[in-house]
Structure 1
Amino acid sequence: MKKQLIESDIRYGAIQKAIRFVNYELIEGDVFEFGLYTGRSLALLQIAHEEYLKKSIHKINFSRDFIGFDSFKGMFKTNHPRWEDGSFSTNHSWHPTIKIGEAVTKGKVINFFKTLNLKPPIIIEGSFEKSVKEFLKKYSRKAAIIHIDCDTYENTKLILENIRGILQEGTVIMFDDWFNYKGNSKYGEARAFNEFKSVCKEFSFIDYFNYGTFCKAFISVIKNGLKAAGGL
């Protein structure tokens, strides 16, 4: 089932690349996904991480948690013609354990991970306005990878406003819907991130790679000096 999941997703090579980067660079911290949906992306991130631990000669001496946020109530109506109120509250594509048209729930996502013999992720259920702020305000660890898959400008803006405390040098930020809206950066995730970059005083962001159909990744770098290589 893992093999079929990997082969069905054109993003897996990019997910492997992000995992290899944070593991090789010894970037401690956890893997976050905002917009968990059916759990496929977060499961692939965990599979890639476990694959790295088994096969790579470059070992790490710390563990990672995998953390997903979702309301499981779907999206609100936006100005994108494909989305309506409740979009993504049910599964719309092939999935190993959730049928097309079936309601997506926290319990079904946990069962999906168990079916793949993966450790179930920490799932924070609720609206982003409440759950993201409350959870991250109390969270003491950093993020190695942040996967943002919430499609809209409003939700992406809210997430970015609340992740500063978990960013560190080397955090990989992956946007699943960067090139939506016909690639127009005045909308969606691209607009929210461009606005965030303009006001973020602590970090700059390196363009890492494009992947999949709509996706883009960045690496966060501390402004005014590098901790790596002794600041040289």
Structure 2
Amino acid sequence: MSDTVSLLTKFNFLQNFASLISAWINPAIIHNLEKYHILKKVHYLTAIENIEGDYLEFGVFTGSSFCHSIRVHQMQKKYCGEHTAMKFYGFDSFSGFGSMESDENHPFYSQVDFNSNIEYVEKRIRRVAKNTEYKLVEGYFQDSLTSGPKSYGIDKSKIIFIDSDTFSSAAQAFEFCSTTIQQGTYIILDDHFSYCGDINRGVAGAFKEFIEKREIEVRLVFHYGMGGSVYVVSNM
């Protein structure tokens, strides 16, 4: 009996230690680590299916996810051998949200939290990219996305990463991508459960409206981090 109590005491100590570490880590770190993991998964899944197309990211901010996607793509040959060519496109105002509709107000989404600097981001990506083709497009989506994907040389999308937070910006991104989406395109929604989980607001609302309007069938692949979701287009 004493041996059992001693074992349980040691087990409780380990549980307490794990709990302390977990409680101490900033949730943003957990979210980003899991995001990096799913980006690697999605690049792998599109590679083994030999899906053609480019990587489109809406809401680049400081470029962390964008850089990671390029790194994963470059390392892919070790796991998948030769794979289809891929270009990387990043769209962001690099000046925060700009004007927002009243129903898009959110305690976390503000100019202060999401201001960035395109020169810094460009320098950061350039160090990673090497021979990988990429393009950053600066401007609010209502200005930068109106000319359509063809104007940037985009034909098909392999991976679409929506990290623009609000309904209007996500809706503009989806409309821009509408002609590029194909069966097998992966769509990453980084803030899928914002606005208290309201399915009709934020990124979730824009995604729901888009797939219903375009009659696109999707399947949930997995969730990650503090509210991210990944879908694959299963039928058009």
Q: What TM-score, normalized to structure 1? A: 0.79
d(CA) in 2 for partners of 1:57, 1:29: 17
Q: For residue 135 of structure 2, what is the amino acid of its counterpart?
A: I
d(CA) in 1 for partners of 2:206, 2:121: 28
* Structure 2: runs of 5 or more not aligned: 1-28
In structure 1, the residue matched to 2:86 is 64
Shift of 1:209: 1.0
* Structure 1: runs of 5 or more not aligned: 90-103, 224-232
Change (3 A) 1:140 1:186: closer
Q: 2:96 aligned with 1:84, yes or no?
A: no
Change (3 A) 1:117 1:33: closer
Q: 2:36 aligned with 1:12, yes or no?
A: yes
Change (3 A) 1:57 1:32: closer
Q: Decide whether the 8 Å contact of 1:113 with 1:120 is kept in 2.
A: no
Change (3 A) 1:32 1:178: same
Q: Which has the larger radius of gyration?
A: 2
Shift of 1:204: 1.2
Shift of 1:222: 2.8
Change (3 A) 1:195 1:6: closer
CA offsets, 1:125-176, max 9 Å, x none?
1110121122414345201000000000111111112211111110001011
In structure 1, the residue matched to 2:170 is 156
d(CA) in 2 for partners of 1:130, 1:177: 23
In structure 1, the residue matched to 2:206 is 192
- Alignment equivalent of 1:208, drawn from 190, 199, 221: 221
d(CA) in 2 for partners of 1:191, 1:135: 22
Q: 2:142 aligned with 1:129, yes or no?
A: yes
Q: Decide whether the 8 Å contact of 1:73 with 1:86 is kept in 2.
A: no
Change (3 A) 1:57 1:123: closer
Q: For residue 117 of structure 2, what is the amino acid of its counterpart?
A: T
Q: Decide whether the 8 Å contact of 1:144 with 1:171 is kept in 2.
A: yes
Q: 2:233 aligned with 1:220, yes or no?
A: yes
Change (3 A) 1:57 1:164: closer
Change (3 A) 1:117 1:158: closer
Q: Decide whether the 8 Å contact of 2:71 with 2:128 is kept in 1.
A: no
d(CA) in 2 for partners of 1:43, 1:6: 18
Higher helix share: 2
Q: 2:126 aligned with 1:114, yes or no?
A: yes
Shift of 1:25: 0.3
Q: For residue 214 of structure 2, what is the amino acid of its counterpart?
A: C
Q: Which stretch shifts more, 10-19 or 70-79?
A: 70-79
Identity of matched residues, % = 29
CA offsets, 1:79-112, max 9 Å, x none?
21122345411xxxxxxxxxxxxxx222211111
Change (3 A) 1:207 1:65: same
For the residue of structure 2 that corresponds to 1:183, the secondary structure is coil
CA offsets, 1:44-98, max 9 Å, x none?
1111111212x114432x3111100011110145321122345411xxxxxxxxx
